[in-house]
Amino acid sequence: MVRSTLEYGSIVWDPFQKQDIDKLERVQRKAIRFIKRDYHNREEGFITTKAKELDLQPLQHRRTSLRLIMLYKVVEGLLIFGPMFSGKTTELMRRMKRYQIANYKCLVIKYSKDDRYDKSGIATHDRQTLPALPADQLSDIALEAENYEVVGIDEGQFFPDVVQFADEMAEKGKIVIVAALDGTFQKKGFGDILNLVPLAESVIKLTAVCMNCNSEGSFTKRKGSETAIEVIGGADKYLAVCRLCFKSPIKEMSPRRAGSTPTVSNSKMEKTQANRQLFKLSSPIKNSC
């Protein structure tokens, strides 16, 4: 009980402000008085009984919960957007897993037509997966979402009611995280997703690596001649590119980045092999034991 009381004080209060140090000292004095005066006069099991009466959670659970609360206390609505291959789904999964570890009730929602890598969950381009509930419209699962504390939405740009749904969930005190493309292959806003910006407590804009010149890639470029906005695909249909490479026809892009097999010159290969030899032991290490 003493340790948990001091821990609450040390996490919630700023130790660099004198008024908060005074508060912490008062807690310490109360704890000392409790130990000297009350603790030894109580019957066996008093602490356990009192903790149950107060519905106190285990110390480890409080530690994890408090750290997350302090880290995300201003994030009731978080928008993660960027071009293709910028790590939006990866970041969404990372944040959802953190909440799951802290025993929050978490719901992940995926667009039902996006089954590129996994039909029963969301998936990154490198095949990391997380179970998710598929939906065409978020309003269809609004009642289900009421039962959860944290709601994550992947590919939010495809949901026509994402703005209304996300705002309603946040108003009800839920933590809402939306991962979405911010722009189309034409460098225009994707659906209504940008209308979430003024409604979110935090907005993260991710960038990819340009698949042609290796600079920062902030845009999505489509391969082929399809003109429809909603065309689901991965590297077979899209490239992440920078501003300059967005203007270049795909056929003029570097073959190494446009899809052909990468080649390495003999001199470069020999140099690489020579460098690797630096880490090769000249003779095996014998066990002296």
What domain count does the chain have? 2
Per DSSP, 68 falls in state: H
Decide if 155 is catalytic: yes
97 contacts 104 by C-beta, under 8 angstroms: no
- For residue 246, being part of any structural domain is answered with no
Whether the pTM exceeds 0.75: the reply is no
Shared-domain flag, residues 87 and 142:
yes
Shared-domain flag, residues 12 and 39:
yes
Shared-domain flag, residues 8 and 105:
no
In degrees, to the nearest 5, what angle opens at C-alpha 158 toward C-alphas 156 and 161?
A: 75
pLDDT value, residue 175? 92
Shared-domain flag, residues 89 and 178:
yes
Shared-domain flag, residues 82 and 19:
no
- pLDDT one-digit tens code per residue, 32-63: 666 656 655 556 566 566 666 656 555 555 55
Shared-domain flag, residues 23 and 147:
no
Shared-domain flag, residues 82 and 140:
yes
d(CA 116, CA 27): 56
23: containing domain: 2-56
Of 53, 144, 149, 155, the active-site residue reads 155
Per DSSP, 201 falls in state: S
Q: Tens-of-pLDDT digits for all 289 residues of the chain?
A: 444 444 444 444 444 455 556 666 777 777 666 665 665 555 656 656 666 665 655 555 555 555 554 444 444 688 999 999 999 999 999 999 999 998 899 999 999 887 776 677 887 777 788 889 999 999 999 999 999 999 999 999 999 999 999 999 998 889 999 999 999 999 999 989 999 999 998 899 999 999 999 999 999 998 877 778 777 777 778 899 999 999 887 655 554 454 444 444 444 444 444 444 444 444 444 444 4
pLDDT value, residue 48? 61
